[in-house]
A and B are shown apart, each in its own frame.
Chain A
Amino acid sequence: MKAEKRKLRKEISEKLKDKTLRGALGRFAEVYPEARAAAYANAGDVETLREAVKQMKIATVGQIEAVADRFEAAATKRGVQVFRAEDGESAKAYLLKLCKETGVERIVKSKSMASEEIHLNPYLEAAGITVTETDLGEWIVALAHERPSHMVIPAIHMNRHQVAEHFSKELKKEIPPDIAVMVQVARKELREKFLQADMGISGANFLIAENGAVGLVTNEGNARMVTTLPRIQVAIVGYEKLIPTIKDAATILKVLPRNATCQLMTSYTTMVSGPTPAMVKRDGKWVEEQKEMHVILLDNGRLRAAKDERFREIFQCVRCASCLNVCPVYTLIGGHVYGHIYAGGIGAILTAFLHGMEEFAQFHELCIGCRRCTTICPGKIDIPGLIEELRVRKVKDKGLPFLLKQTFENVIANRKLFHSLLRLAARGQKPFQEGKLIRHLPLFFAGLAKDRSLPAIAEEPLRDRVAKVKRKIANPDKRVAFFGGCTMDFVFPETGESVFKVLQDLNIEVLYPEGQSCCGKPVLAMGDEETMKRIARENIKALEEANPDAIVSACPTCTESLQHYRELLKDDPEWGPKAAAMAKKVREFCSLVAEEYEKHGRLKKKAGGLRVTYHDSCHMKRVLGIDKEPRQLLEAAGCELVEMKDADKCCGMSGIFGVKYAELSMPILSQKIANIEETGAEIAACACSGCMVQIQGGLDKKLPGVKMKHVADILAEKIGEKKIA
């Protein structure tokens, strides 16, 4: 399928200007996490529940064809006709034929994402069949000739006035923008459709192989109408909804309503196995007749994913859409920008499989890899990890854009050239520089420095300062190699100096291997695995030569990259073992220092210092799992720690994203700055140089009274004070 070339930037900027959308999504993002947590209050251990879903789904996808066979046999035995549709076309052809054979003229539908995926409604309507969506949100977007912008709340992007307009137009009378009134109007209108329909089409939240049952989890009651009233019942369902046993449904029902709508259970949770009776009017008399029931199992790319070692993970999705609700980007711009039907990070992945890579390629950058979704996904899907893998495959398949490829291969992978360019930049930026920041940029670059000052490239990088800060230690407890990373080396060399001071104060000898370069993350983030491998080999060589006891990085992303070399080079007979040996030595700065402080009895809370709030970097907390140690260190340095709201929500930087999509990055940053301001802290601390770039820039423009500091800087200052005293 040839993807239509989209103007993504224009679409994004329109969504950002849509006040209704921004307001609705903003309020939702605000209340969702707490409402979800409250729904889980009586559910037992959430992690155990998520793990149960994951394991059940993994076991199922491993034998998906067999489970589908069992479902088909069980359903057929009970009188259901099961059709396995390879793609949308065959599903639609089957349905149309069925409609013609059985004289169906009117169809009512309850929510089925699979039917939207294959564009069923326009197809049937073109054949002269009347199709009515009966889920209120779906009906609204259908009247507006739009697409759903959220999988569970389709019309979340509209307000009551817009809905009233669409209702008034459809019903050709004035409908007031009163929600209760509009819901009653919908009830009345759609009630007639239910009673007149010949066929009801639903989706399913699960399909039980054991007894061929279709499971439906709904609130409005429309799915009960759709499966009860018309004489023919059809369910269109993707293979990922199959579960082996009846009891497995309980595993899903423990998490699905809680994650999707923050309910303990939805109003109607229904399971239908085999055709049931319906009342049909024959010659003016009501008679009971057995229904005709069909299940269309839709493949459309799913079985290919099931065979893929990595992407079979998408079968763990229960379509709760909670990944959207916590996504910093989705909650700014909504679902329409993501392409076809499925929005957000999971939508990007599904789109790649169901609609092709070209479609995916247009909007995959909207996943900023903050990993917030991975903490709540009921099926524990590594959404950002899968997107990264898709990027790698895309690049393997199609290559990178020429300029980017040139930059990666010839500049970033060539340390000497890359570093000389950075040094050159330090001189080139002079006209715009004010102190250590760039506050204004000319012409079309202006947007980049509009709500955020950019850090200047330091005049003297860390690597040139090593001789000054490095102390010779006679009997060191440890020898560590310090991996600075580009940002610390060239933008925050003072923080690099702090790292030296803190470690040396612990009787640790610090080496700074000259041959180290960029960790490679920006390259991998664009899917260029080959260049990443080259960079990895260079860094391993440089760090290995120093033969340290540990390798320390004060940036979580660099730490993660260095550890990732093991996976990256695992098939390389020469470099694989070296990468594995090195990965064991890699330590994140805060966790290492906290460990050492603990050993020396220094990890004790002290009072009397500054009010500090701590920002959890996405990768620090959710990849490395480090969130207590930096806080303990701050308190050990005498700081009064004040927690900000959403301390672990992304600052909006996320590497290249923060620059390329500055218009999206800035609102995320603004929220972070507002949360910092609310704490009344004098210092915002973090332990990631990428976040420092972003937050420092935002503070400089909007909250200049608050300073951004790395935990290492605060610790180093404390040591300085101690020395002076």
Chain B
Amino acid sequence: MHTFTETWQRSFPTATSGSHLFAEFEERARAAAAEVFRCATLTEAREALLRLVEGAGVTKAVVVESPLQLAAGVTEALRARGVEVYTAPAEIAEHAPTADIGISGVEFGVAETGSVFQEGYAIATRLVTILPPLHVVFLPSANIVPDVPQAFEIIAKNFDRGYLGFITGPSRTGDIERVLTIGVHGPGRFAIIACDEAPQGGTR
């Protein structure tokens, strides 16, 4: 019944999209206070995450695996560093409120807005993206669509049911004196690790 993740790539507008839009995507994402790390290889992507983890003093992580993360061996590398890592839904439910970091994969980015698109039907995905103070996503850097209407070309063909969303930078508010303040209910830090190398030679 739930097929978005299985089918969406067939609708990816390859003619108009691709890594040539990455620079624009990166600029917009940074403007929305996202941190962006572009990596040529899976190894670099793993290293980028480990540096983030080190810098933030992470001891506990909740993780939902994406093909890119699996190929980069992210979870094992975290455990090897002594970080507590939880990947099963029941563990995530228990530990997400106190974890230092949530890690997940996203389907594609939108150059116009610097947003990433994530299919989030699984409860585990939504918990890791919203509860910890730092959220890191893995994105194949070729998966950038030019704009919101193009994103909806994909969505319209594949969204029968489920929980889909765009994430654009960290959680924010301007509700007190219109002063932009980061990290209200969701993560105060949002990082995108974009990788040029695809898992198993394909584009995801």
Interface hits, B174-204 → A, CB 8 Å: 174-179, 181, 183-187
Binary B-proximity of A259-294 (CB < 8 A = 1, otherwise 0): 001011111111111101111010001111000000
Binary A-proximity of B16-33 (CB < 8 A = 1, otherwise 0): 000000000000100010
- CB of B177, distance to nearest CB on chain A (Å): 6
Interchain pairs with CB closer than 8 A, number: 186
Contacts of A254 in B (CB 8 A): 148-149
Interface hits, B132-188 → A, CB 8 Å: 148-149, 151-153, 155-156, 159-179, 181, 183-187
Contact call A267/B93, Cβ cutoff below 8 A: no
The yes or no answer to B122 lying at the interface (CB within 8 A) is: yes
Contact call B167/A267, Cβ cutoff below 8 A: yes
Contact call A221/B185, Cβ cutoff below 8 A: yes
A285: which of B90, B155, B162, B184 is its contact (CB, 8 Å)?
B90
Interface hits, A120-170 → B, CB 8 Å: 134-137, 140, 153-156, 158-160, 163
Closest Cβ neighbor of B115 among chain A residues: A265
Known: A180-B181, A183-B181, A224-B130. A219 touches B165 (CB 8 A): no
The B contact surface, by secondary structure, is: mixed
Contact call A190/B185, Cβ cutoff below 8 A: yes
Contact call A279/B148, Cβ cutoff below 8 A: no
Contact call A187/B123, Cβ cutoff below 8 A: no
The distance in angstroms between the C-alpha atoms of A279 and B162, with both chains bound, is 16
The yes or no answer to A24 lying at the interface (CB within 8 A) is: yes
Contact call A195/B169, Cβ cutoff below 8 A: no
Contact call B149/A250, Cβ cutoff below 8 A: yes
Contact call B163/A163, Cβ cutoff below 8 A: no
Bin the interface of chain B by size.
Answer: 35 or more
B173: which of A42, A219, A246 is its contact (CB, 8 Å)?
A219
Known: A153-B178, A187-B184, A269-B165. A220 touches B172 (CB 8 A): yes
Contact call B183/A187, Cβ cutoff below 8 A: yes
Closest Cβ neighbor of A195 among chain B residues: B97
The yes or no answer to B94 lying at the interface (CB within 8 A) is: yes
- CB of A219, distance to nearest CB on chain B (Å): 5
Known: A24-B178, A270-B165. A225 touches B130 (CB 8 A): yes
Contacts of A288 in B (CB 8 A): 89-90, 123
Bin the interface of chain A by size.
Answer: 35 or more
Contact call B93/A268, Cβ cutoff below 8 A: no
The distance in angstroms between the C-alpha atoms of A134 and B175, with both chains bound, is 12
Query: Could you say which of B121, B127, B130 has the most chain A C-beta atoms within 10 Å of its C-beta?
Result: B130
Contact call A273/B89, Cβ cutoff below 8 A: no
The distance in angstroms between the C-alpha atoms of A322 and B165, with both chains bound, is 24
B161: which of A158, A184, A211 is its contact (CB, 8 Å)?
A211
- CB of B143, distance to nearest CB on chain A (Å): 17
Known: A179-B181, A186-B184, A276-B123. A268 touches B173 (CB 8 A): no
Contact call A220/B184, Cβ cutoff below 8 A: yes
Contact call A246/B155, Cβ cutoff below 8 A: yes
Contact call B178/A268, Cβ cutoff below 8 A: no
Pick the 6 closest A-B CB pairs, nearest first.
A221-B186, A137-B175, A279-B93, A250-B152, A265-B113, A270-B165
Chosen A-B contacts, 17 in total, with CB atoms closer than 8 Å, are A24-B177, A136-B176, A154-B175, A163-B176, A182-B176, A195-B97, A213-B159, A220-B173, A220-B186, A224-B126, A228-B130, A246-B156, A247-B153, A254-B148, A267-B167, A270-B163, A278-B123
Can you name 11 extra interface pairs (CB under 8 A) apart from A221-B185, A269-B168, A281-B93? A183-B176, A194-B185, A211-B160, A219-B172, A220-B185, A221-B184, A224-B130, A264-B113, A268-B186, A270-B164, A271-B163
